[in-house]
Amino acid sequence: MTFSEHPDPVAAEAPVGIFDSGVGALSVLRHIRARLPSEHLLCVADSGHAPYGGKSDAEIVGRTLAIAAFLRTKNVKAIVVACNTATAAAIAALRQHYPELIVIGVEPGLKPAAALSKSGKAGVLATASTLASSRFIALRDQISVTTGVSFITQACVGLVEQIEKGELSSPATALMLQRYLSPLLRDGIDTLALGCTHYPFVQPLIEAIVQRESVVPVTIIDTGEAVARQLERSLQQRGLQRLTLSEGTLQAYTTGSRSALVNAFAQLLDLHPPVAELTAESTA
């Protein structure tokens, strides 16, 4: 690993932008705050346009670039695309537009899922868009060939909407998850990659279904921690880590309802950051 010999304390003061189609940003943000508590963070939930999972690639690229343009006006030093769907569809376009910025994406944890599997079968839950993307298919095929592990994938249509509504343990969400998970468990998966950043918020439900229906223990893989580590490495390499003991600030924005994001932060992370509603013009 190479570290910058000339850390730039002024540039290091700039915030890190984190965005997702909605509250999925919060499942990544909690790992970033835990690992990099001094960093100033700006979190954008594009809940007014969620879910991304059923949108065309062109629409997802459009939303990603609009939010990145907003974050750029806030002088961010890095953008974390805390969304598997937007990473698959738009990270190449984002890097092309902002070559000067650190851009970190998130992908389903197929590598750890394969490494930890004893049965040779790993499950992947993600949006339909992520699973259909050429980026995901290339990753899946490459890891299957090198490890011999087969991946059983399931698009969880409707699950992001349930989580956006705050229905993390309702009977409707439990039934939906059971319908998606049961066939994978019957097929004998023993690892399960959560390929959407919303899904860690229903991990307790997933664990309950696994407990009831699987004959073997199933290891659940969330990539939030790996994303935080990758961000830390990238900031170190460019000398952009905020090296101070003072805690970083957190400001949140939403294209949906302000009160919904205030509640999501309070309920999901026990945090109470200032939340501003973004107008259509600021992310058009």
Catalytic center residues: 83, 196
Between the CA of residue 133 and those of 149, 227, 244, 253, what are the distances in Å?
Answer: 20, 20, 40, 28
Q: Which of 28, 24, 69, 82 is nearest to 199 (CA)?
A: 24
Question: Whose Cβ is closer to ligand DGL: residue 40's or residue 198's?
Answer: 198
Question: Whose Cβ is closer to ligand DGL: residue 133's or residue 241's?
Answer: 133
Min dist. Cβ of residue 255 to ligand DGL (A): 12
Q: Are 85 and 129 in contact (CB under 8 A)?
A: yes
Min dist. Cβ of residue 247 to ligand DGL (A): 26
Q: Which of 4, 5, 6, 12 is nearest to 246 (CA)?
A: 12
- Beta pairing class for 275-277 and 150-155: unpaired
Question: Whose Cβ is closer to ligand DGL: residue 154's or residue 241's?
Answer: 154
Min dist. Cβ of residue 120 to ligand DGL (A): 26
Task: Read off the tokens for 32.
Answer: 């970033």
The three-class DSSP label of residue 103 is strand
Min dist. Cβ of residue 251 to ligand DGL (A): 20
Question: Whose Cβ is closer to ligand DGL: residue 160's or residue 228's?
Answer: 160
CA distance linking residue 230 with residue 238, whole number of Å: 13
Give Cβ neighbours of residue 281 (< 8 Å, ≥ 6 apart).
none
Q: Which residues bind ligand DGL (CB under 6 A)?
A: 20-21, 24, 50-53, 83-85, 127, 130, 160, 196-198
